[in-house]
Structure formats: structure tokens, C-alpha cells
Structure 1
Amino acid sequence: MSHVSSHSPHGQSPLRTVQVLGGGSAGSSAHVRSLTSGLVARGVRVTVCAPAEADHAYGFTGVGAQHVPVPRSSDPASVAALRTACADADLVHAHGLHAALRAALALSGRRVPLVVTWHTRSHAEGARAHLLRLLERRVAKAAAVVLGTSSDLVDRARRRGARDARLAAVAFPAPRTPVEHGDPDRLRHKARAELGAIDRPLLMAVGSLDRHRGYDTLLDAARAWRHLDPAPLLVIAGEGPLRAVLQRRIEDEGLPVRLIGRRDDITELLAAAEIALLPSSWESRSVLAQEALHARVPLVATAVGGVPELVGDAAELVPYGDAEALAEAVVRLLGDPARREVLQEKGVRQAATWPTEDETVAQVLSVYDELTQHRPLG
């Protein structure tokens, strides 16, 4: 890596960066916290512009950043607050499309490099899909460098006119909650008892109850594994607009499925499951997939977006929207403890290939360095 100007060579003042976070998914918020911690440790000044609740949840100030509360809306007040926060920045790094658009507006007319990390892809149809394309194009062209968290996001950024798009190194996010220490078997038993899966296999899916998550297909598959004895219990953690529709289907069809809403003990619940399920229509670096492999929980996932690249041969991959393939993969795995064990071992090996927090920070710093090497002396 080239010299890092944040170490203030030749009398330069420390590098001043602003990290801009919108609503922030669990993945992007954890990434910004990890990045902030690493940058501060290397002498970089970091201001995080994010909604107040994001700082409460992720503690940016706790790792040495200054936090400026900026609401996630694109109203003029929010852009003005960002403009003020970025007034003396050497570089601005926005996470997500909406945060990037606001950062581009706040920086208009100023020659401050903008780095954008695309963490995920937005889903839209009809007129909104057209608006989304315009937004993606605007952001791709405004950024000096776009970092995409999966190869297909890098390709997408290039198609939208990015001058420089690269694959981002993104470290596995630390568990969403401190894991309870204690006897793992006892904790597992406790979680299974609470969910009602003492004498039956437990299957777990996590994610907002939205259309692109593939829960319709998952419920179709649950119909097919009802005949197993004992019938596995599928638990879905997450909240969203489809809750009522899904709940009605579960009741009408008598499906062995429970919606348990938003939870802050996902790590413990996942560790208690036989199989983790990811039926989405698209994912980049799915937090659930990473947590499952890390926790040695066999994963059945759709072969979409960045999933195959992320999990390698350490998961059972099925086509999106194919309930039969999904059900078959689950039934086969439940009946084959040896295959589950193979996936557990492969999962641990695959997780060891993911970038570390240090590698993530080093990559971002080298990008910052490229873009700010002609800074004036302090």
C-alpha cells in the first residue's frame, strides 16, 4: 500500500473525512462503525452524519467519531445540515444510494472527492424503476470512486456511468448483539424451547417482510415439508408490509411457520437452528448468510446477486422462486446429517476467506489516499 497521508507526513494535518449514512441497513451501519473505528485508530478524523437512532444503535461516537444527526429524508434542511458538516472535509464517503445523492447535493460546487459504497440494490417497478435508474446514474457519475459490495453491483455502477468502480472489501459484521456467554447447549435448548421447537427441526429465515425476500416461495416450500415426521418449524424474524398477508396464508393453509417479528437476539436464535434459509430475489453480501456460515449453521440460499461469490461451495444453492427445489434441498439436508456436517466445515473455511476489518480499512484508506494526495499542507 502507498504511504497513507492520514499519518500527517510533511506536516499535513490529519485527514478529515465525513461518513454519510442514510436509513442504513444492519450491514451498512455495522460496516460504517467498523470502518470508523479503524480510521480513527489510524489518525483519521471522522464525522458520521446519520439519523440519531443510528448512533444510539451503533455507537459511532463510542469509537471516536463525531456524530452529526442528519435525518434520512432528502428535504432541504437535511442537505443543508450535511453541507455544514462537510464544510472542512477533505473527503466524503457515502453509504447507500440515498445517502450518496444527499452527499452529492451537499457537495455541489465544491471540489471535494466523493466515495460511494453501494451496499445493496433497491427494488422498484414501473415509474419508480425509472426514477431509481436516474438516481443510480446521478450517484455513479458524482462519485470519484464507487465501491460495490458484490461483483454485480460493480458492473451495475459501471453501466450507470461510474468513472471508477471497484469491488469493496467488507468485513463480516460483528454479531448484532453481544452473544450470551454460557453453556452453548443450554442456550440452544432455551432458544428452541421459546420458539416451540424442542422435538422438531428448526429452520430460520431473517429479513424484512418485503416482496423481494422470496417468502411466498418459502411458504410454498413449507407446504411440501409438512409431511415430514416431525414436521420442521420455520421461524421468520423480521417485520414489514407483507406481515398480514403472510400470517393469513400460514393460518389458512395450516403451515408450520411462525413470524416472530424484529428480534435483537438473531445470533442466539440462529445458533439453535438446523438450517438457515435465504430465499431472496437478490442479495449482495447477505448478513444472514455470513452469520450462518460463521455460526456453523448449514445454509440453503438462492443463487442470486452476490450470494454465490460470498458462500462459494459452502451452501446449498437453488434457483430463485423455485419452491420445489427449495423444499427438496431442505428435506434432503434434514435427512443427511453427514452432508450438514460437510457444509458446516466448508462454511468455517469459507468465512476465513472473507476480508478482515484491517483489510477493509486498508482498502478504504488507500482509496482515500489516491483521492487526497494533492491536499494542501497543514
Structure 2
Amino acid sequence: MLSRLIAAILVAGTAALPSSGRAAAPAGSDLPPAACVKPGGWSDAQARPMDTGDLLRRAADAPVVLLGERHDSADHHRWQLHTLIALYTMNPNLAIGLEMLPRSAQPALDRWTAGTITEAELLKETNWRKAWGYDAQFYLPILNFARMNRLPLVALNVERGLVTRTAREGWAAIPPPDRQGVGNPAPPSSAYVKRLREAMDSHGPGERSADSFQRFVEAQSVWDRAMAERIAETRRDTNRSVVAILGMGHVEGHDGVPYQLADLGIGNSLVLLPWDPERPCDALDGRIADAVYGLRDADPSDADEPPRPRLGVMLEPGNGGPQVRSVMDGSVAAAAGLAPGDIVVAAAGTPVRDASDLTAVVQRQAPGTWLPLTIKRDQGTKELVAKFPVEQQP
């Protein structure tokens, strides 16, 4: 098939995708900076190089492949597309799962892959801006690839209110009719609970209540379970290999979604991650993923336009506004004092209802400007100022 031949050529011509920053090699290592994962190649979770062909054949035969991402990274989305194309050349019997959309968006996705609606109609019918908030341009190449090859697109998520309500009330307090068909999640591993605690406390103002943290863990587990159930259902009903596009926090360490998949009888899912040069080498702890792909430093001459301003946070639906899930070290958000668990309620005096509102304000910021933020933290509110550097980092 011509499209598969083109796909193979595309994969062969994209050996090293761009990224930014530098990583430090492990203490005592002879490796130079950024060499813990060779750019343009695959390594295992201990930084040992892997044979690309062997890995991709293994992935193509797997029932489920989970491709992690940082939602605002164009490099990560390019890597996802190229990996997806490589898998398709070996196994065209694929379905693509999307964290980005709730199950209610499935009819629109079906019409899109059938070729009966336009790109603009897809974004409108799925209510992309409100449902997800991150720039659709990051995802449209994947959506168009699915449409071109008539690959099913599967909405993995639930309506955001379910996760928010779980964090507020606890899973047991939600009546079964209100659970959107989601079953009881498997109790999370101790490693996952530890990671969630570290995420909440690493930049936080202090210890939050045990009840609040427990509800936070339950909300995350319900979120993971909902997506795992949808993946397992798609695999069972279609017998296709499911390639899921979702945030790294849901898959790292084989916790989250792969953990819930194992509880559902799919214990051999594969976790693949892009590896940015700025990530510390000691994050390759032997269990973070089945394989990681090294991204290279960005070449400024490759850029067609200046990089967009970035706050440096991962967001999720919260009670009264988007809630900060994690803060990138060295980011504008970290310097401003934003912390996991914070809920952003206003930016520059403008109310923030969801992630798309905050993204729109941030992307209007010029280099060197200051952005006042109003956040809810614990039982009170706090005013912070995000200071964007004169030269934006990619």
C-alpha cells in the first residue's frame, strides 16, 4: 500500500526529533551530558541502547501500547506521530485511544474517521477547547493520520466533573448512576501513592490533610481506571492493538493506567516515553517505562516562529478552575511559587474556568512581561506573579 510505503520513508527520515535543555549524566558515569539516552535512538529504563527493529516489532504485537506525553510539547507529539506510523507499517490493525476527549465525544470521532465532517466541525462538535484546552494543532497530525488510514479513534476519558467530584467527596460518596459506567479501581501501588504524595508536597506550602490526600489519590485512580476500561473494552471488542495517547503521569513506572489494565487482565501493555535531554539520568530507575526515545536539542535554525510562552505546569480539572497537577523544575510557574494542588481562579484579573482560559492568557504574554495570578490554596486565596523571561525558552 502506498501510504504504508510513505510511512516507512517518513520514519526513516526522522531519526532524531528536537527538544531542549541538557541532562546530567549519573554520578560517577563516564557519559557526557545528555548521553544517557542517545538522541534518535531507543533505550531501556536503565539507559541501555535497544535495537529499534526488535522493539517496534514487540510493540506492534502488543495488545496495548501507551505513548506518554507532556501535553504542551510539540516535540512529544511529533515523536508520538512518528512512533504511531512505525507501528502502523508493521501492524495496520490499530485503534488510537485519546485521553483528550470524554466518551461523549465518540460520535464526533466516528464521523471524523469516516470522512463526513471537517476539521472545524470536529473541534466544534467535540468542544475541544473546553474538553481539553491544549492546542489542537499539537494533535491534528495524529487525527489526520487516523482519518487517512481509517483507524478508529477512541475517546478514553470521562467528563471532568467525575474526577473533580471524587477529589471533593471521595469515590464511595458517588452513587453508581453518577459514575459514568466506571468500575471500582484497583487499589494503587505503594509506589504510585508515594509518587502522588511527592507531587503534591514537592512545591507545596505544607502538609495537606490526610483526607484531602486520600481523595486526591482516589480521583487519580478513578481517572486511570476510566481510561484503562475504555482501552480494554476496545481491545476486546475490536481485537485491534490499541495505541493510547496520554499524559506521562498516567503511565510512568507502569503505575496508573498500565496498573489498572493489569487488573483488567491486560498485563502485557507496553509503556513508551519520549526522553528530553534536560531530564536527569537518574530518572531512568529501571521501571519508568519499557523503552524511552532520545530527543535531541533544538536547532534554532529549525524554528519557523518564536516559541510560545510556557508557564510550565500540568493541569487537570479542579473545583472552581484548573488544578495544578505538577510544576516543572526551573519553570516560570516554579519561580512564581505555584504548587501541585493549587487551583487557578484568575489571570491578570480575568476569571479562569478551565485550562483553555489559562492557556489563552499565557500565550498572549510577551517576553519580559509579568502575569498576576489568583489561586486557591488550602482554605484561602493567594496572589502570585508569573514573570516571563525576556527570551522565551523552547
Same fold (TM over 0.5): no
Between the two structures, name the one with larger relative contact order (CA 8 Å, sep ≥ 6): 2
Structure with higher strand content = 2
Larger gyration radius, structure 1 or structure 2: 1
Report the TM-score when normalising by structure 2. Answer: 0.31
